[in-house]
């Protein structure tokens, strides 16, 4: 079934839509925030621009006041001539304004110097104005002039009195009044500014000239001359004094005018400076406002562009996810259909497997019951049981191969082998099956002089045997053809293998599914001959071919037969040096000894019996420490050791022995551990090979090249719910004494181990329980009760897990102990019979 990957929240469509909404809200928020900040800055700038310039206001006010200062002070002086505090009030107000202006220009030293200069000029101007007022006051004051006139009048009166006392004078006085309009005298600059407006009475003023004709006596002439001279002197003095006052007044007026001009000039300079600053500030504020607006627009534009790009990206991702979702939905629908299809295929597989397993089991049980009733069982009954067991073993191996297939545990070796010899062996193996069905076995090998190639011979043999057995199974009459040819490209050899039959053939629909798990072609002869299998053979073949970089095809027509063709690539290999001893084999002719260590006495007894019958030197140890402490014998060539032992494990013992002896001594592990990972760990731990429990005689002897194998032993665990004496009889070479000895040893050891196992369960000793389960599994399998041994092995695996709880598995283990008691009773019944 096609797995749909689990996506995280962000990778899911819902997450992307929510993210898009969040980004949209974030973009709107950022745009609002940017606009708010920009408009607030713009508002501040506008307020700053619209607010009056305090400096400019104060300078304008100072300019206005300074310009009108002279007139205001003159008016106050004329209205209240003697009160100087009145016109100093304006100066004080100006100084207050100047102080305020100084605070505004606190950081401008040039302007502060100008303001201080204005303050000084204002003080000087006040002094000049006071002096001016004093001079003007003297000029307009008539006291001195009145005193001069009074002196002149007193002098005339005194002279007149003296004349009257000496001379009598008669005079004739004539008075003529003439009105003469007075000429307007030109007014000066300050008179125009500070002078009063003439009243109408002054405009209507007239002058009276009195002309008097006095007739005096000549006696008084001398006195008159004295009076005239006195008057002239007084007038000259008055004229001189008036000229001095006028000159002083004009000088003071000029100084005051200069002070006013300088003060006004400096104020105008400051005013221009302030105006220039104000204009510059306005321009700068305008630029700043423009910058604020442009910045706000730019930020909003960037936010919108980024938001748009993100929206485009998210839209693309959402559409992509929708597309993927639709594809996943279609794949899910297809996978669902395939799952349903495979589910039905598995049901057919279970049904077929039930039939396949029950058929040989029925033969085994039936013939076993017959044998139990016979004192001397017939050989044909024993052979029937043996062949049924072999058939059952083949089914189990096929299922185990499928298990390795789905778990990815298929392993491939690279070695040199004789291809022609391998092909001939394969044909030799399947030839009896073809002969029994009256089928012609044809072979066509176009190999020229090619013999040795480099590759995996076991997997090639497995593929060919599976295809040929399949062809024979579904062919009722005709022939089976095995054709092999190759093309060479450098050192690479491209082989084509074809298995062709004239059997029932396949329909086009069946050809599409023939390599699927649990698929089988329907055979019309099922009711007569068992043509069904596990439905895994071709699946395993396809996996083996493809894992080696090859391809496999099928051409078939219903009722005419099928043709399976697969392609594999190998390399040219060199012929092996036959003078060298095959790795892992120690020929008995060399006289090498064999040491066996196992904590199970039954295994030691079986090995002793086999080695004794083949006249091989051996020694048995039931403790790993005994072996480790034993002085080394240089005649020893092979060490066989169990993996699970109480004092030292087989791996630990192997490492310790490797430090003691060299690599020329071969070490083999005897174990019931059949998982691929466990096998790899054992080989990596220093072992040269593995002998799987339960083992047959030929499997044990194959280590020494005393019996050639036609197939590799891998994970062979034949089943069997009852005691199989035929297997043990074969192991004891039909010797009744050895047979009963081993059975007695088995029963005794099992009872002891069972007692220890029950104690371990009570003590909650996980390690002890696991060790005893392992020991019992190997012993029971070796005696022939494979199904019970497999149950003990499963219990051992569960106990070895990290989270295993002894008490939780106690009931299951005790149930296995009951089955063990039943097995012991069966063996006792057999011994009695």
Q: Which residues pair with 551 in a beta bridge?
A: 567
Domain 584-832 class? alpha beta
Among 449-458, 656-665, 677-686, the range scoring the smallest mean pLDDT is: 677-686
Which pLDDT tens digit goes with each residue over 35-75?
777 777 777 776 666 666 677 777 777 777 777 766 666 66
Q: What is the pLDDT of residue 530?
A: 40
pLDDT digits (tens, 9 = 90+) for 660-673: 887 788 899 888 65
233 closest CA partner among 155, 169, 295: 155
Model confidence at 738, pLDDT cuts 50, 70, 90, reads confident
| Mean pLDDT, rounded, for 818-823 | 80
Q: Has residue 187 got a pLDDT over 70?
A: no
DSSP state of 692: E
The number of C-alpha atoms within 13 Å of 707 and in the hemisphere containing its C-beta is 12
Question: Does the structure show a pLDDT above 50 at 586?
Answer: no
**Residue 265 corresponds to which tokens in the numbers above?**
């000039």
For residue 480, give Cα distances in angstroms to 424, 439, 531, 542.
Answer: 15, 7, 17, 20
- State yes or no: pLDDT of 674 exceeds 90: no
- How far apart are the C-alpha atoms of 742 and 782, rounded to whole Å? 11
For the chain, where do the domains classified as CATH 3.30.565.10 start and end? 381-572
| pLDDT for residue 587 | 43
Instruction: Specify the DSSP class assigned to residue 55.
Output: H
Residue indicated by tokens 């009056």: 52
Q: Residue 696: its pLDDT value, please? A: 74
Give 596's pLDDT tier (boundaries 50, 70, 90): very high
Asked if residues 183 and 203 have their Cβ atoms less than 8 Å apart, the reply is no
Among 265-274, 298-307, 562-571, name the most confident range: 562-571
Q: What are the CA-CA distances from residue 388 to residues 44, 162, 628, 726 (Å)?
A: 103, 198, 43, 13
The segment with the largest mean pLDDT, out of 576-580, 602-606, 823-827, is: 602-606
Interval 478-523: pLDDT, tens: 999 999 999 999 889 999 999 999 988 888 888 787 877 655 555 4
pLDDT tens sequence across 118-138: 777 777 777 777 777 776 666
- 326-349: average pLDDT: 79
Q: Which of 523-532, 751-760, 781-790 is predicted least confidently?
A: 523-532
pLDDT at 535: 58
Count CB-CB contacts under 10 A for residue 455. Answer: 22
Q: Mean per-residue pLDDT for 559-586?
A: 72
Q: So what's the pLDDT on residue 531? A: 45
Distance separating alpha carbons of residues 362 and 528, to the nearest angstrom: 17
Residue 388: name the closest of 358, 354, 357, 363 by CA.
363
Q: What is the mean pLDDT of residues 334-342?
A: 80
The gap from C-alpha 231 to its chain's centroid, in whole angstroms, comes to 125
Strands 452-455 and 561-572, by their bridges, are antiparallel
Q: What is the pLDDT of residue 568?
A: 94
Is the pLDDT score of 621 beyond 80?
yes
User: Rounded CA gap, 350 and 536, in Å?
Assistant: 12
Radius of gyration, CA atoms only, the chain: 69
Q: According to the per-residue pLDDT averaged within each range, which of 142-156, 440-454, 585-599 is highest?
A: 440-454
Q: Are 396 and 356 in contact (CB under 8 A)?
A: no
Which two three-digit tokens encode residue 718? Answer: 């034949």
Task: Give the pLDDT score at 772.
Answer: 86
pLDDT of residue 1: 39
DSSP string over 89-136? HHHHHHHHHHHHHHHHTTT-HHHHHHHHHHHHHHHHHHHHHHHHHHHH
pLDDT for 562: 92
pLDDT tens for residues 355-411? 567 767 777 887 788 788 777 777 777 777 776 776 677 677 767 666 666 666 566
Query: pLDDT digits over 188-245, tens only?
Result: 544 555 455 554 444 444 455 555 555 555 555 566 666 677 777 777 777 777 777 7
Distance CA 125, CA 94 (A): 13
Q: How far is CA 9 from CA 4, 13, 327, in A?
A: 15, 8, 19
Buried b (16+ CB within 10 A) or exposed e, 28-42: eebbeebeeebeebb
533 has a pLDDT exceeding 70: no
**353: pLDDT strictly greater than 80:** no
Report pLDDT for 110.
Answer: 77
Q: Is 201 exposed, middle or buried (0-12, 13-18, 19+ CB in 10 A)?
A: exposed
Q: Is the pTM of this model over 0.85?
A: no
Distances (CA, A) of 289 to 41, 277, 280, 282, 368: 8, 18, 14, 10, 109
If you average pLDDT over every residue of the chain, what do you get? 74
- Give the whole-number percent of the chain exceeding pLDDT 70: 67
Q: Which long-range contacts (CB under 8 A, 24 or more apart) does 19-22 make?
A: 19/314, 20/310, 20/311, 20/314, 20/315, 20/318
Spatial distance between the Cα atoms of 590 and 635, rounded to a whole number of angstroms: 10
Residue 589, phi then psi, degrees to nearest 5? -65, -20
Q: What is the pLDDT of residue 766?
A: 84
Cβ proximity of 592 and 638 under 8 Å = yes
Contact residues for 305 (Cβ-Cβ < 8 A; gap 6+): none
Mean pLDDT of 527-542: 61
Domain 381-572 fold: Heat Shock Protein 90 (3.30.565)
Question: Per the structure block, which two tokens stand in for 637?
Answer: 């060539």
**Residue 566 pLDDT > 90:** yes
For residues 307 and 20, the answer to whether their CB atoms sit within 8 Å is no
Specify the range with the lowest mean pLDDT, choosing from 80-94, 297-311, 682-696, 751-765. 80-94
Count Cβ atoms within 10 A of the Cβ of residue 61 and give its class: 0-12 exposed, 13-18 middle, 19 or more buried: middle
> Where, residue-wise, is CATH 3.40.50.2300 in the chain?
584-832
Q: How many CB atoms are closer than 10 A to CB 762?
A: 10
Closest-CA residue to 128 (of 251, 237, 235): 251
pLDDT at 567: 95
Q: Which residue has the higher pLDDT, 77 or 721?
A: 77
User: How far is the CA of 50 from the CAs of 39, 44, 278, 290, in angstroms?
Assistant: 16, 10, 12, 16
Q: Is the pLDDT of residue 626 over 80?
A: yes
% the chain with pLDDT above 90? 6
Phi, psi (rounded to 5 degrees) for 438:
60, 40
Look at residue 709 in the predicted model and tell me its pLDDT.
32
Structure confidence at residue 163 (pLDDT) = 52
Q: CB–CB of 411/448 below 8 Å?
A: no
Residue (of 497, 499, 445, 512) closest to 473 by Cα position:
499
pLDDT at 289 over 60: yes
Residue 255's pLDDT band, with cuts at 50, 70 and 90, is: confident
Enter the tokens of residue 78: 């004329």
Q: Is the pLDDT of residue 719 over 50?
A: no
278's tokens: 């104000």
Separation of CA 75 from chain center: 90
> Sheet containing 636-642: which strands, arranged edge to edge?
618-621, 593-597, 636-642, 666-671, 689-692
What's the rounded Cα separation, in Å, for the pair 447 and 463? 19
> In Å, what is the CA distance from 450 to each residue of 75, 446, 468, 573, 577?
143, 9, 23, 9, 17
DSSP label at residue 2: P
Both tokens of residue 224?
Answer: 């008159």
């Amino acid at each position: 079934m096609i797995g749909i990957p689990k996506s995280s929240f962000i990778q899911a469509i819902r997450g992307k839509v929510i993210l898009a909404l969040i980004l949209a809200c974030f973009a709107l928020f950022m745009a609002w925030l940017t606009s708010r900040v920009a408009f607030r800055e713009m508002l501040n700038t506008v307020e700053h621009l619209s607010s009056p310039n305090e400096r400019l206001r104060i300078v304008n006010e100072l300019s206005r006041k300074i310009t009108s200062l002279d007139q205001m002070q003159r008016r106050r002086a004329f209205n209240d001539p003697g009160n100087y505090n009145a016109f100093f009030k304006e100066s004080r107000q100006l100084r207050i304004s100047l102080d305020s202006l100084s605070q505004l220009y606190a950081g401008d030293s040039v302007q502060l110097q100008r303001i201080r200069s204005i303050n000084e000029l204002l003080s000087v101007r006040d002094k000049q104005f006071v002096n001016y007022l004093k001079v003007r006051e003297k000029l307009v004051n008539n006291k001195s002039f009145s005193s001069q006139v009074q002196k002149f009048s007193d002098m005339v009166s005194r002279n007149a009195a003296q004349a009257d006392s000496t001379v009598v004078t008669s005079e004739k006085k004539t008075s003529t009044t003439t009105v003469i309009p007075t000429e307007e005298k030109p007014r000066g600059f300050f008179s125009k500014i500070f002078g009063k407006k003439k009243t109408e009475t002054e405009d209507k003023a007239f002058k009276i000239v009195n002309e008097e004709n006095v007739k005096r006596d000549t006696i008084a002439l001398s006195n008159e001359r004295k009076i005239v001279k006195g008057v002239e002197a007084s007038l000259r003095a008055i004229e001189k004094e008036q000229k001095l006052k006028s000159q002083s007044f004009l000088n003071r007026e000029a100084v005051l005018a200069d002070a006013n001009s300088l003060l006004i000039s400096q104020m105008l300079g400051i005013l221009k400076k302030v105006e220039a600053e104000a204009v510059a500030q306005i321009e700068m504020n305008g630029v700043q406002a423009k910058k604020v607006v442009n910045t706000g627009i730019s930020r909003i534009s960037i936010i919108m562009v980024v938001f748009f790009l993100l929206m485009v990206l998210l839209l693309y991702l959402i559409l992509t996810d929708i597309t993927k979702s639709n594809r996943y939905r279609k794949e899910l629908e297809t996978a669902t259909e395939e799952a349903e299809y495979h589910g039905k295929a598995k049901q057919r597989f279970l049904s077929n497997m039930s039939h396949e397993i029950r058929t040989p089991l029925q033969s085994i049980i039936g013939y076993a019951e017959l044998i139990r009733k016979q004192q001397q069982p017939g050989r044909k009954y024993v052979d029937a049981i043996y062949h049924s067991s072999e058939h059952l073993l083949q089914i189990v191996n096929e299922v185990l191969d499928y298990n390795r297939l789905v778990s990815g545990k298929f392993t491939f070796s690279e070695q040199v082998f004789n291809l022609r010899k391998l092909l001939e062996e394969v044909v030799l193996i399947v030839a009896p099956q073809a002969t029994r069905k009256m089928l012609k076995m044809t072979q066509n090998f176009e190999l020229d002089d090619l013999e040795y190639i480099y590759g995996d011979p076991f997997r090639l043999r497995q593929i060919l045997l599976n295809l040929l057995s399949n062809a024979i199974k579904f062919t009722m009459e005709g022939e089976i053809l095995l054709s092999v040819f190759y093309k060479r490209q450098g050192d690479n050899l491209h082989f084509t293998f074809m298995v062709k039959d004239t059997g029932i053939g396949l329909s086009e629909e069946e050809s599409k599914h023939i390599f699927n798990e649990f698929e089988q072609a329907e055979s019309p002869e099922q009711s007569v001959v068992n043509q069904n299998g596990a439905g895994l053979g071709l699946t395993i073949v396809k996996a083996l071919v493809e894992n080696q970089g090859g391809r496999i095809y099928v051409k078939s027509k219903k009722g005419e037969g099928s043709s399976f063709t697969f392609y594999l690539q190998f390399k040219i290999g060199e012929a092996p040096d036959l003078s060298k001893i095959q790795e892992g084999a120690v020929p008995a002719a060399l006289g090498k000894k064999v040491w066996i260590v196992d904590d199970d006495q039954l295994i030691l007894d079986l090995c002793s019996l086999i080695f004794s019958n083949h006249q091989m030197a051996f020694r048995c140890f039931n403790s790993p420490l005994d072996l480790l402490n034993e002085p080394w014998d240089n005649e020893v060539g092979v060490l066989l050791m169990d993996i699970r032992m109480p004092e030292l494990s087989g791996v630990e013992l192997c490492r310790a022995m490797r430090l003691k002896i060299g690599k020329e001594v071969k070490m083999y592990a005897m174990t019931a551990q059949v998982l691929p990972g466990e096998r790899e760990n054992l080989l990596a731990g220093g072992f040269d090979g593995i002998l799987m429990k339960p083992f047959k005689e030929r499997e044990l002897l194959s280590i020494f090249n005393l019996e050639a194998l036609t197939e590799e032993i891998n994970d062979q665990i034949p089943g069997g719910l009852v005691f199989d004496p035929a297997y043990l009889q074969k192991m004891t070479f039909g010797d009744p004494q050895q047979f009963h000895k081993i059975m007695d040893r088995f029963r005794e050891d099992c009872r002891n181990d069972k007692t220890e196992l029950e104690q371990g369960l009570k003590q909650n000793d996980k390690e002890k329980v696991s060790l005893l389960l392992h020991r019992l599994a190997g012993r029971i399998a070796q005696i022939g009760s494979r199904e019970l041994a497999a149950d003990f092995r499963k219990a051992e695996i569960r106990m070895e897990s990290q989270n295993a709880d002894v008490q939780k598995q106690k009931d299951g283990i005790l149930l296995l102990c009951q089955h063990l008691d039943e097995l012991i009773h069966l063996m006792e019944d057999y011994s009695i019979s």
